[in-house]
Amino acid sequence: MKDRIILSMSAEKLSALEMYLAQKNTTLTAEIDKYTEQLYTKIVPQNVREYIDLTTENRSVHRERKNKNSEGRTPSEQ
């Protein structure tokens, strides 16, 4: 699950930023995503990142198994 962050910037600055990012074939969203990942890697300790990766991976595997088990069943069987 992803949370949202709201940023404030003047319309003029945002417009200029988006224009120059487009010239570099990128977007504000892509650049913010890249920077937040770099910041996360720099600030959050490695062992905590590994734990988060493991728990996220385990949740994904659990959801996939649950979805596979419910495939092919009629609604009354679920």
For residue range 32-43, list pLDDT tens digits in order: 999 999 999 999
For the chain, give every domain's residue range. Answer: 13-69
- Would the pTM count as exceeding 0.75? no
Report CA-CA distances (Å) from 2 to 6, 9, 12, 47.
Answer: 13, 22, 28, 21
Closest to 35 in 3D by CA, of 14, 5, 69: 5
69 or 20: which leads in pLDDT: 20
Rounded to the nearest integer, the mean pLDDT of the chain is 88
Q: Quickly count: other Cβ atoms within 10 Å of residue 36's Cβ.
A: 11
Token duo for residue 13: 């600055």
Q: Using 50, 70 and 90 to split pLDDT, how confident is the model at 75? A: low
